[in-house]
A and B are shown apart, each in its own frame.
Chain A
Amino acid sequence: MSDRRRINGPVGATIPPVSEDGASREVAGSRGGRSRPPNAIRKMYLKTGVTPSASGSAYLEIETSGRSGVSGLKLSCTVHGPRSLPRSSPFSPHIILSTHVKYAPFATRQRRGYLRDPSERDLGTHLEAALRGAIIADRWPKSGVDIIVSIIEGDQDRETSKTQGDESWDLMNALSGCITVASAALADAGIDCVDTVAGGVAALVSDKGDASPSIVIDPIPSEHDRILAACCIAYLPTRDEVTNLWFKGDLPASDTELYTKLVEKGIQASAKANRVLVECLGETVG
Chain B
Amino acid sequence: MPVTILAPKAVRVGYGANPDHSDSEDSGSDPEGDVSMGLKRAAAGRKAAASGGSGSKYEIVTPGEVITDDPQWMRGHGTYVAPATTSIISSVAGTVTRTNKLLSVRPLRARYTPEVGDLVVGRIVEVQAKRWRVDVGSTQLASLPLSAINLPGGILRKRTETDELQIRTFFAEGDLLVAEVQQLFADGGAVLHTRSLKYGKLRNGVFVAVSGMGGGGGVVRSRRQVWTLESANGGGPVDIVLGVNGYVWISKHVETPEGLVDKTSGITNIEESVSATMYSSQNDRIGPETMREIGRIRGVVTALVDNGLRVDEDMVMRGYHEAVEMAMTSGEGPEDIYLGGERGEQLAAALTAV
Q: Which residues of A contact B (CB under 8 A)?
A: 90-91, 93
Contacts and interface: CB of A to CB of B under 8 A. Distances in A.
B272 interface: no
8 contacts: A90-B125, A90-B126, A90-B173, A91-B126, A91-B127, A91-B173, A93-B172, A93-B173
Contacts of A91: 126-127, 173
Interface string B63-84: 0000000000000000000000
A90 B125 CA distance: 9
Interface residues of B, number: 5
Nearest to B173: A91
Interface in B134-175: 172-173
A90 B135 CA distance: 15
Closest 8 CB pairs of A and B: A91-B173, A91-B127, A90-B126, A90-B173, A91-B126, A93-B172, A93-B173, A90-B125
Contacts of B172: 93
A73 B267 CA distance: 72
Contacts of B173: 90-91, 93
A17 to B, nearest CB: 56
A125 B340 CA distance: 34
A93 B168 CA distance: 11
A91 B133 CA distance: 13
Contacts, number: 8
A94 B189 CA distance: 30
Contacts of B127: 91
Contacts of A93: 172-173
A56 B127 CA distance: 32
A69 to B, nearest CB: 52
Given A90-B126, A93-B172, 6 more contacts: A90-B125, A90-B173, A91-B126, A91-B127, A91-B173, A93-B173
Nearest to B127: A91
A135 to B, nearest CB: 21
A167 B127 CA distance: 48
A141 to B, nearest CB: 10
Interface string B113-128: 0000000000001110
A91 B126 CA distance: 8
B78 to A, nearest CB: 34
A133 to B, nearest CB: 22
A137 to B, nearest CB: 15
A93 B124 CA distance: 14
Contacts of A90: 125-126, 173
A91 B128 CA distance: 10
B350 to A, nearest CB: 43
A91 B175 CA distance: 13
A189 B127 CA distance: 30
A39 B126 CA distance: 53
A253 to B, nearest CB: 17
A90 to B, nearest CB: 7
Nearest to B125: A90
A93 B127 CA distance: 12
Contacts of B125: 90
Nearest to A91: B173
Interface string B170-203: 0011000000000000000000000000000000
A93 B281 CA distance: 15
A63 B120 CA distance: 64
B73 to A, nearest CB: 46
A140 B126 CA distance: 19
B130 to A, nearest CB: 16
Contacts of B126: 90-91
A93 B173 CA distance: 9
B209 to A, nearest CB: 20
A54 to B, nearest CB: 31
Nearest to B168: A91
B226 to A, nearest CB: 30
A8 B173 CA distance: 72
A90 B173 CA distance: 9
A85 to B, nearest CB: 14
B80 to A, nearest CB: 36
Interface in B246-262: none
A79 B263 CA distance: 50
A103 B127 CA distance: 41
A90 B124 CA distance: 12
